[in-house]
Chains A and B, each alone.
Chain A
Amino acid sequence: MESSSNEHIDYVFKVVLIGDCGVGKSSLLLRYSDDFFQESYLCTIGVDLRIRTISVDDKRVKLQMWDTAGQERFKTLCGHYYRGAEAIIIVFDVTSENSFSNVLRWYEEARQLSRQDTVLVLLGNKSDMADSRAVSTERAQSLAASLNIAYFESSAKLCDNVKETFTATTRKMMEAYQKHHRAHLPDDLTNSKSLHMSQPIKSSTSLNCFDCSIM
């Protein structure tokens, strides 16, 4: 789509999506990576990975997006993937009060398992379903403000605000990375030690979006 097979990549970021079952994590990623929406519900087994390369502020950024299963039983297994993440997006369903009340739990979990500089984002999905809306934008915003994280609202179904959310998150990750970088490696900016972030990565395949699992 947006990348050729062997181009220069400035950043590789890991983004992890968490949240209750059925809030639309997989749908969001499917919409973002393949621009496709599936009406039927398929539960994610364990974790799933999608990759997309985008351009933000003249930088090529490769997003490694981890889609985790919302089910309680997968929590421990998926928790391992929080640690390496540059950003964690906590997704809830604006039509489900329950998923909103669980946001705090997810937040605590994410804070505990992730690094200090990990960007956290709150995302209310299914904004298209205005009729059955249970959580108002104001409430979600005030929660996000109290947690000191950004809030977005999107609809994977209508492709509304999905791209914008990911772009904004990427921008935040870049800021956080540069901040961290300045703080920890003041004279090492171009050193290859920070290669995970800045090493040019040659994609071996022309695929830049894929679904590594079928479910």
Chain B
Amino acid sequence: MLGGTKSRATVKVSTSSQPLFSTLQIRTRQMLEAVIDFSIMVYLVDHMLPKEYFAHNLRALTVDMAVFRTYLAMKLPKLSAHLTKLQQESCDDCNGGNVEPPLTNVFTMQWFLTMFATCLPMATVLKIWDCVMLDGSEILIRTALALWTKLAKKIIRVKSADEFYMTMGSLTQQLMKGEIVTTDELIRSIYNMAPIPLPKLTDIREKFMYDITPFSADVNSHKSAHSEEESADDMHDVTKKDLTTHHTMDVAMLRRQYAKLTRRQRKASLLMMAPVASAPPTIVPNYPSPVVNHLFVGKEMSEKKQVSTPRSRSISVGSQMESVAPALSDQLASRLDFYDSSQQDSRQMHRSKAKKQKSEAASSITEPEVVNQEVKKVVRQTSDTSDEFDGDHATLAAHVTTMRREIRRQHSTASDSSSISTDSVFTHSILNQNGHQGSSNSLSQRPYSKEFIPSMKPFSPFPKPATGILSAKKAKIGVELGLYKPESALAYMSPAERKQFLREGKHFTGRMAMSPTSSLW
């Protein structure tokens, strides 16, 4: 998305005949920023969202849309009833009793799938992503609820489904401009609406998991799947199904799920190393710009990539990396220097991701050595210190397989010292933390790192919400971001941690109250 537009701009520059390195450098920086935004999104999709949100049938998304409607009915019963009425009227009006999908679906679908990136200002989106990092995917539901609460006053006045869509057309535009709700207001209502996790969230999600069977791509089975979702829409009618059918389904489901997990793991490592599918064409001038859906760097794209830029693939496959020619290693080293310096210039840049990006870029570059040398020269002049990474490069040249670990180690330590200056820094640091292979990171729920334990229960893509108290670390970061009150963080810290936290002299004005007593439901 964001990455896409900026990358495309870069294509134009690099295809122009003049190889202006200073321009290139600026362009590269812009690109890296876009890449960072994009890789945060990739991380969130891979680690924080329910597992089948982007799977071929969007099952978990369908479930979450139904879950959202349930909460909407609880929180805004008037609006929900009004929308249902409009929906039904619209159905009756059509000849032959047609089915109008729930009116909110169009918007909820986009909001959830793009994590609000296409409907709210970027600053707000980054804040929300921070919240998703802290409290998981239920933030999406909370945000949607908060937005509908804001829109309710205007929506309640519409008299037909048609008018609803008309009104929403202008309202979504206002939302994008940030005219309807400010970031602070939104975050406050996200946290104040109910204690975390949302009441009964697991139960409701599970219920809809049972009610909504996996959709089949087969056209013939479509109708039955649809009707099941309809029954799911009626939340008062909890259909208790025969348990035995679940069990027979389980084995096949588990098997499929297991295969998917393995695939996913492979894909994720590919994604982590090659965050943007369109990166190679931005640097290799003659490569035709592919049609990239930045949200779904999925099967098709990775296959294309493998054909066009085989090296970018070999990065993720350790064994193949051993055979990379020394010449390439040189190229790598010089490229890395180049990227390092551009990194040094902008401190807000997320380092580990930048490294990954640059290693990917480096591996796909097929420019003459002369050009590389020149880049190196220009870079040396502009940069003050890049010794920090020099030792690393030798390692890279010799043992490319150790590259990933090494880079992450270096950069996560480097980023620890960087100050928190932007809204999105938190998300950056989380990305770093993820780089630690064995770190016990309570913040991220990493679906594929967990051991897969077969059970008789049907596989649920939704991670279990963290129960009990906030972890100290999470609370601390929450306070730093101004999402939690300092007291709530201190309460969950060990005495030593508390001491250190206070010594660091970070006086945050917790704007938002974690109100464990608020009982909307």
Other A-B contacts than A51-B166, A71-B296, A204-B167, 14 sampled, CB-CB below 8 A, are A45-B295, A46-B106, A49-B169, A62-B162, A64-B162, A73-B57, A83-B94, A115-B98, A117-B95, A205-B169, A212-B165, A214-B119, A214-B172, A215-B110
Q: Does B109 contact A (CB under 8 A)?
A: yes
- In the complex, are the beta carbons of B158 and A81 less than 8 A apart? no
Partner of A12, one of B58, B91, B162, B172: B162
> Nearest chain A CB to B481's CB is how many angstroms away?
26
Q: Does B405 contact A (CB under 8 A)?
A: no
Q: List, sorted by A's number, 11 A–B pairs whose CB atoms are closer than 8 Å.
A: A40-B4, A49-B165, A71-B293, A77-B109, A80-B226, A115-B96, A116-B96, A184-B95, A204-B167, A214-B176, A215-B118
- In the complex, are the beta carbons of B169 and A212 less than 8 A apart? yes
List the B side residues contacting A12 at CB < 8 Å: 162
Q: Does A36 contact B (CB under 8 A)?
A: no
Question: Assuming the A-B contacts A72-B217, A213-B119, A215-B114, are A47 and B106 also in contact, with contact meaning beta carbons closer than 8 angstroms in the complex?
Answer: yes
Interfacial residues, chain A to chain B (CB-CB below 8 A): 12, 21-22, 40-43, 45-49, 51, 62, 64, 71-77, 79-81, 83-84, 105, 108-109, 112-113, 115-117, 180, 184, 194-197, 201, 203-205, 207, 210-215
Interface residues of B in 104-119 (CB under 8 A from A): 105-107, 109-110, 113-114, 118-119
- In the complex, are the beta carbons of B170 and A45 less than 8 A apart? no
Which residue of chain B is the closest to A113 with respect to CB atoms? B222
Bound form: Cα–Cα A203–B226 in Å:
32
Digitize B346-383: 1 where CB-to-A-CB distance is under 8 Å, 0 elsewhere. 00000000000000000000000000000000000000
Q: Does B168 contact A (CB under 8 A)?
A: yes
Q: Does B62 contact A (CB under 8 A)?
A: yes
What is the number of residues of chain B that contact chain A, defined by CB distance less than 8 Å? Answer: 55
- In the complex, are the beta carbons of B293 and A211 less than 8 A apart? no
> Nearest chain B CB to A127's CB is how many angstroms away?
19
Q: Does B93 contact A (CB under 8 A)?
A: yes
List the A side residues contacting B225 at CB < 8 Å: 76
Q: Does B487 contact A (CB under 8 A)?
A: no
- In the complex, are the beta carbons of B5 and A40 less than 8 A apart? yes
Bound form: Cα–Cα A46–B118 in Å:
13
- In the complex, are the beta carbons of A83 and B98 less than 8 A apart? yes
- In the complex, are the beta carbons of B170 and A75 less than 8 A apart? no
List the B side residues contacting A195 at CB < 8 Å: 93
Which residue of chain A is the closest to B100 with respect to CB atoms? A84
- In the complex, are the beta carbons of B110 and A205 less than 8 A apart? no
> Nearest chain B CB to A136's CB is how many angstroms away?
24
Bound form: Cα–Cα A180–B292 in Å:
43
Bound form: Cα–Cα A151–B8 in Å:
35
Q: Does B426 contact A (CB under 8 A)?
A: no
> Nearest chain B CB to A173's CB is how many angstroms away?
12
List the A side residues contacting B296 at CB < 8 Å: 43, 71, 73
Which residue of chain A is the closest to B214 with respect to CB atoms? A76
Bound form: Cα–Cα A37–B152 in Å:
34
> Nearest chain A CB to B156's CB is how many angstroms away?
13
- In the complex, are the beta carbons of B94 and A210 less than 8 A apart? no
> Nearest chain A CB to B302's CB is how many angstroms away?
15
Bound form: Cα–Cα A117–B4 in Å:
41
- In the complex, are the beta carbons of B8 and A40 less than 8 A apart? yes
**Most central of B93, B95, B118, B215 by chain A CB within 10 Å:** B95
